[in-house]
Amino acid sequence: MVWLVVTGVALVGVVVLVFGVGSLLPRAHSVSRMAHFNRSPRAIWMVISDFPGQTAWRADLKRVERIAGRAGRDVWRETDKSGRSLDMETMEMAAPRRLVRRIANDNLPFSGRWTMEVAEFGEVTALTVTEDGEIDNPALRFISRLIMGQTATIDQYLRALGEKLGVDVTITTV
């Protein structure tokens, strides 16, 4: 019986700690990562702007479908392997250099946008992905910042892109 009380108190303590530390972390964050590819800007652009085609190379995606646009902008619903959906609105698309997409769902405990910039350096092309986000829920802020790492999703995306293009990828912080 004592071990139940101790376990219960420990669990409550962990929850309080997670919410307490999460409450102290800033809601907003901005992180940038860069990878270099031995491919042309156009080749990279063709892959990153083909939203439905990303199911072929992004292991986290199950389906991508176009849905009703907003204010004349395209919106794509990305459904992951576990069935969760995220609506992504294309805010800016300047081929083959700049792509800006934002989370278009209003009912989530987080929001944000990705800015992808393609730059050519001789025979090498760099793709910089910047995430500007906000996380309302303190527990999610704690997990994002201290457990997963705020660049985990960007890194996963850049590694998958490298595999799609058949090149090794070194990811750096910008």
Residue 30 lies in a domain: yes
Find the mean pLDDT for residues 60-88.
Answer: 95
Q: Among 45-54, 126-135, 144-153, 155-164, name the one with the lowest average pLDDT.
A: 144-153
What DSSP string runs through 54-84? GGGT-TTEEEEEEEEEETTEEEEEEEETTS-
pLDDT in tens, 14-59: 777 777 777 888 999 999 999 999 999 999 999 999 999 999 999 9
Q: Give the pLDDT of residue 4.
A: 83
Total domains, the chain: 1
Residue in the structure block whose two tokens are 């619903």: 77
DSSP H/E element including 147 = none
What mean pLDDT, rounded, does the chain reach?
93
pTM above 0.75, yes or no: yes
Please report, for the domain that includes residue 126, its CATH number: 3.30.530.20
Q: Give the pLDDT of residue 125.
A: 96
Residue 74 lies in a domain: no
Residue 134 lies in a domain: yes
The residue range of the domain holding 163 is 2-59+91-173
